Amino acid sequence: MIAKLKKKKPPKPSKSFPLYAHSCGQWCKTFKGEKLYFGTWDDPQGALAEWKEYEASHVLGMQPKKTSGTKEGVTLRELVEQFLDSKQGKVKRGDMGSRMLK
């Protein structure tokens, strides 16, 4: 049997750093009993920036920054606008009747 080597957890960059090193290799924060992950150990400042963005929108109730698309992709609004623009273009070209758009 081969023993699995564990990576040694890195120390916090500072005493006031709000995240802790989880054994999965990411920075973590327990919030309302749920573990939230904010980036890998090799980028503590990026993880801190993600936490601050999450904290602003979920904990402090502030509106998140308006971006064109999110990390996961486009927003629902952007997707609907793209769809409607596409269909209106087809109507203008005559590829689709205007009744199909209603």
Domain that holds residue 61: 18-65
- The Cα–Cα gap between 23 and 60 comes to 28
- Per the structure, the count of domains in the chain is 2
Report yes or no on 6 lying in a domain.
no
Report yes or no on 13 lying in a domain.
no
Q: Does 10 score more than 70 pLDDT? A: yes
For the stretch 31-47, pLDDT in tens is 888 899 998 999 999 99
pLDDT at 37: 92
Report yes or no on 2 lying in a domain.
no
Q: Quick one: 28 and 51 in the same domain?
A: yes
Report yes or no on 9 lying in a domain.
no
Report yes or no on 76 lying in a domain.
yes
Q: Quick one: 23 and 58 in the same domain?
A: yes
pLDDT at 75: 81
For the stretch 60-88, pLDDT in tens is 766 655 555 455 677 888 888 888 888 88
- The Cα–Cα gap between 80 and 73 comes to 13
Nearest C-alpha neighbor of 41 from the set 56, 22, 59: 22
Q: Quick one: 22 and 61 in the same domain?
A: yes
pLDDT at 63: 62
pLDDT at 49: 92
Report yes or no on 51 lying in a domain.
yes
Report yes or no on 11 lying in a domain.
no
